Structures are given as structure tokens and as C-alpha cells.
Chains A and B, each alone.
Chain A
Amino acid sequence: MSGAVSSYGTRHLQALFGALGRLARAPLATLLTLIVIGVALRRLPTRR
């Protein structure tokens, strides 16, 4: 049981770092996408 959970966690970590690595390998494209998302999110009201 703990082996299955550990394996599940490992696969999640692999996917997480894989996704991070892919984003880091294309920094300009990632930055441009982040700017678009950031500008859109900036307008969302976050005050009480």
C-alpha cells in the first residue's frame, strides 16, 4: 500500500519537475504567456 502511494507521489513529482523543465527550456514563450495571464489577472478584484 505504502509502495503504491510512494510510486504515485514519485510520478506526480516527475510530472511536476518535467513541466517546470519544459517551461524553463522555452523562457521567452513562457514569459510572454505569463505576461498575458498576469495582465488579465491583475484586473481581477482581490479586495474585500
Chain B
Amino acid sequence: LTEFREASGFGDALAALEDNPLPHHLVVRPDKSASGPAEIETLRRYFEAFPEVDVVQLDLEWVRRLHSLLDVMRRSLWVIIAVLGLGVLAVIGNTIRLEIQQRRPEIEVTKLVGGSNAFVRRPFLYTGIFYGLGGALLATLIVVGGMAYVDRAVGVLAAQYGGTFRMTGLGREGMGILLGTGVVLGWLGALISTGRHLRRIEPRA
């Protein structure tokens, strides 16, 4: 009744009622892990089975649409992840390839005096790791700086609509994932590039 009084605007008229004439109602919010259309349908059947329950109101069509939309977004996100990950690998791989070309005479001499491929590869792998780590740190700075810049304006806009929406940053976990991803991609890009190009460099007689 309180909710109805606030939403309907019949405050004075409702004050004349001695007790609540409206039937009881329960609002059930399913857990995140059970928010799929099939689970929600099961939940509806479960509540309908109670003899005390008259009506179970649920717009399953909207739940299905929302899940389809989320599925499209999730798949698009994976495509973006793959493309950007490949982009990072390509940038690091190409940078390492240029470094290998630049240091070709040095690599030839190292191999001539018995330096193994692993020995020659090692500095390039570290370079790749530093590129990945540095790029990830820069990405973190861009995200944190961007969030801080936009946050105040978003807060003001949200307040005008009566909300308290705030931008949340990456968080420690997000930063850890970003830095880890950067290091792994840097190392992998360097590994692929050195694997391809170092084999071709052999000391000339």
C-alpha cells in the first residue's frame, strides 16, 4: 500500500482506508547464476505450484530478448578481444623483427662464437615483455585518467535524474588482468617473431 501510495499520487484518498485492501505480493529477484530463461521458467512453475499463490507475473519474452542481446554483445566482445590481441601481437612482433634486422651483424657474431638460439633470443623476449608491460601500464593510466576526467560530469548528470551513478575504475583485479595480459602478449609476440626470424640468421663463412 505504501508503494502504491507513493507511485499513484492518491495519497489522501488512500489515507481514508482503515486497512490494506490490496493482496499481498512478493517481488522475487533471481540470483545472477539463475537468471537464464530456463531457470526463470522453472522458478515460475515452482511458485505457481503453491496453492496460496494466485498469480505469477513474469515477462519471459523480455528475459529471452535480454539474454539474446547479452549473447550478441558477449560474442562481439570476444571478436574484439581476438582482433585487438592479434593487433598487439602484430605490433610487438613487427617491432622485434625490426630490432632483429637492426642487430643482424651482432647476432651473426654471437652465433659464430657459439651463442645458442636461446641466448640470442633472450634479450628480445625481455624487450617484448617490457613493451607489453609498458603498454599495459599506459592503458591503465588512460583508463584511470579517462574515468577520473568523466566521473564528475557523470555524477552531475546522474544527480539531475535523481540517480547516484558513478564511474568505477578498473580495480585491483582489473589492473592485474590488464598487466598480466600485456606481459603475456608481449612475450608471445616476441617469441613468435624471434622464432620466425632468428632461424634465418646464420653466420656467414
- A residues at B contact (CB < 8 Å): 11-12, 15-16, 18-20, 22-23, 30, 33-48
Contact code string B181-203 (vs A, CB < 8 Å = 1, else 0): 11001100000000000000000
Stretch in contact with the other chain, from B9-17, B64-72, B131-139, B150-158: B131-139
Decide if the interface of chain A is mainly helix, strand, loop or mixed: helix
Please name all residues of chain A whose beta carbon is closer than 8 Å to the beta carbon of B137 when the two chains form the complex: 38
Please name all residues of chain B whose beta carbon is closer than 8 Å to the beta carbon of A37 when the two chains form the complex: 88, 91-92, 131-132, 134-136, 138-139, 182, 186
Q: Write 27 A-B pairs (CB below 8 A) sorted by A numbering.
A: A15-B123, A16-B126, A20-B126, A22-B99, A23-B127, A30-B134, A33-B91, A33-B95, A35-B138, A37-B139, A37-B186, A38-B136, A38-B141, A40-B88, A41-B88, A41-B138, A41-B139, A42-B143, A44-B81, A44-B84, A44-B85, A44-B139, A44-B178, A46-B170, A46-B175, A46-B178, A46-B181
Interface Cβ pair total, 8 Å cutoff = 97
A38 B130 Cβ-Cβ under 8 A = no
Q: Do A39 and B139 form a contact, CB below 8 Å, given A16-B126, A19-B127, A34-B131?
A: yes
- B residues at A contact (CB < 8 Å): 77, 80-81, 84-85, 87-88, 91-92, 95, 99, 119, 122-127, 130-132, 134-139, 141-143, 170-171, 173-175, 177-178, 181-182, 185-186
A34 B138 Cβ-Cβ under 8 A = yes
A36 B126 Cβ-Cβ under 8 A = no
Distance between Cα atoms of A46 and B77 in the complex (Å): 11
Distance between Cα atoms of A45 and B170 in the complex (Å): 10
> Distance (Å) between the CB of B190 and the closest chain A CB?
10
> Distance (Å) between the CB of B129 and the closest chain A CB?
8
